[in-house]
Structure 1
Amino acid sequence: MMQSVSVGNVVIGNGRPSIIVPITAKTADEVLALAARYARESTVDLIELRVDHLDQARDAHHVSELTRAAAAIEGAKPLIVTFRTKAEGGMTALDGVDYVEFYRTILAEGRPDLIDVEVARGEDVVLPTIDAARRAGAKVVLSHHDFAATAPVWDLIARMRHMQDLGADIVKIATMPKDAGDVLKLLEATWLMSTRYAHCPLITMAMAGPGVVSRLSGELFGSAATFAMIGEASAPGQVELAKLSPVLDLIHEALK
């Protein structure tokens, strides 16, 4: 049975999908200004700091100071720290030992609520990073992004089950659809995973225009959170917060 995950006052995996808004600013001042703005947005549940966009992205001590400052903002939302590498569509490259050490420093000094770890880094990177998160009391979003295609349904399920077995608190998978059929694959995989195999919450999405429906219909198919944008998107197909939230409410009410 799927278990929900509590982060601060947010419960992920229970009812209406949580809304995550990314911050893709380049400077610390810009990040903190946006974090303060989002703290006042009642429809925002969590904030994702996309570290790879920062002008000092590789400086883990600088990023740790920034995450502490963001957490100190009045009404601050729970924070996901994500270093999206170039290999998975991010802005900055970071591999191997440097990836592990970056997150170890962030966890020890910055005390984020959650971190996003790319499963494609390999178990020699993923497992020690998850262990460091456990010791710091942070939750782990284990993620996989395919910007080229959408794998067959049972391949997607196998990938999510593997991520869950590695120790993810939340499993995230994003694929690139070529047509509506690929979106259906992603939705079917989400439904089957959530109803048959999941022990932790799932976040799934098909990207770009055809995939927008997957960002809206998560509660029906088993995706526990979705990403919204205020201004600049961090991935193809993200929906404006003002448009997304009412649709999630509408679907939630219809499913009661």
Structure 2
Amino acid sequence: MRQQSRIQLKIRGTVIGGEQPCICLPLVAKSLEGLFSEAKELVAYKPDILEWRVDGYKKIADTDECLGILRKLRTIIGDIPLIFTCRIESEGGMQSMSQTKRLELICGAIDSGEVDLVDVELANEDHFLDTIIGRAQTSGVKLIFSHHNFKETPPENVICEVLERAQAQGADIAKIAVMPKCYTDVLTLLSATNVSRNGKIDIPMITISMGIEGGISRLAGGLFGSDITFAAGRESSAPGQHAIADLRSAMSLLYSQKD
């Protein structure tokens, strides 16, 4: 039996933090035509969650167009929960963007009623986060507060502290993704996940060890307490993602309902 979250989220019929870890597929197409085509393709895989990495869209500066796309996306994906994510280059994003413009876009997405969760980097300034928290609470949108370290894996206690900070800041889901330099680093991430799940973290978590070495965390992280894993649909959005068919097949062996 995998370790479940003490607080679980139910979004459009999908339970996050329950008996099974959820599989999320990213939408990363650059063009309008490509995005809608990708969405139709990924829906056929029946993922638990979809994520629109809007920072991959070439017209990200056109807020009105992006919000219009959200309405069309919802008609394509139906009741699959949708994460809206807009990262800048310093956060591993695909484009540069001013904070003012990004805040406008994120708040517009929250107000649209078309997104279910918003993923925001925890390192952003207080005003940025507080504005998003206020809008999300008003609209009923859930928040993922993330921390990405693309250079290394910090010590276990630091990973735990980041997750605790995300929870204290008001996250509905705490997320951390780190880069391993060796397999010992992968074990550090998994151990920190286990400690956090059995310790101070009550909300759902996403913990990821990136790259080739960290691939096992995307498959088995749910056993230790991670509640969402990201797979590759048409394209990956981060290093180390597995194709959804392969991931789902392997996970079926680990997360049997008969545990």
Distance 1:95 1:118 in 2: 15
Distance 2:160 2:207 in 1: 11
Distance 1:255 1:162 in 2: 35
TM-score by length of structure 1 reads 0.95
Which aligned pairs between 1:17-36 and structure 2 lie closer than 5 A?
17-36=21-40
Identical-residue share of aligned pairs (%): 35
Structure-2 change in CA distance of 1:180 and 1:89 (3 Å): same
Which AA in structure 1 matches 2:123?
A
Residue in structure 2 matching 1:174, options 171, 174, 177: 177
Q: Shift of the alpha carbon at 1:99? A: 2.8
Distance 1:61 1:221 in 2: 41
Q: 1:176-225 CA deviation, whole Å, 9 max, x = no partner?
A: 00001111111111111111111210001000011001000122110001
Q: Shift of the alpha carbon at 1:109? A: 2.8
Structure 2: which 5+ residue stretches go unaligned? none
Which AA in structure 2 matches 1:157?
C
Higher helix share: 1
Contact 1:61 1:106 in 2 (8 A): no
Which AA in structure 2 matches 1:40?
A
Which aligned pairs between 1:50-89 and structure 2 lie closer than 5 A?
50-73=53-76, 75-89=78-92
**Cross-structure match for 2:118:** 115
Distance 2:258 2:120 in 1: 32
Distance 1:142 1:74 in 2: 24
Q: 1:101-123 CA deviation, whole Å, 9 max, x = no partner?
A: 22111212353111111111122
Counterpart of 1:3 in 2: which secondary structure? Answer: coil
Q: Shift of the alpha carbon at 1:254? A: 8.0
**Cross-structure match for 2:17:** 13
**Cross-structure match for 1:202:** 205
Distance 1:152 1:161 in 2: 15
Contact 2:113 2:139 in 1 (8 A): no
Which AA in structure 2 matches 1:38?
L
CA RMSD of aligned residues (A): 1.6
Q: Shift of the alpha carbon at 1:52? A: 0.6
Distance 2:146 2:200 in 1: 17
Distance 1:30 1:108 in 2: 25
TM-score by length of structure 2 reads 0.94
Q: Shift of the alpha carbon at 1:88? A: 1.4
**Cross-structure match for 1:102:** 105
Distance 1:243 1:144 in 2: 27
Which segment is superposed worse, 173-182 or 109-118? 109-118
Contact 2:38 2:234 in 1 (8 A): no
Structure 1: which 5+ residue stretches go unaligned? none
**Cross-structure match for 1:238:** 241
Distance 2:107 2:22 in 1: 27
Q: Shift of the alpha carbon at 1:2? A: 2.1
Which aligned pairs between 1:138-149 and structure 2 lie closer than 5 A?
138-149=141-152
Which AA in structure 1 matches 2:15?
V
Q: Shift of the alpha carbon at 1:73? A: 2.0
Q: Note if 1:213 corresponds to 2:212.
A: no
Distance 1:101 1:238 in 2: 30
Distance 1:155 1:163 in 2: 12
Q: Note if 1:156 corresponds to 2:178.
A: no
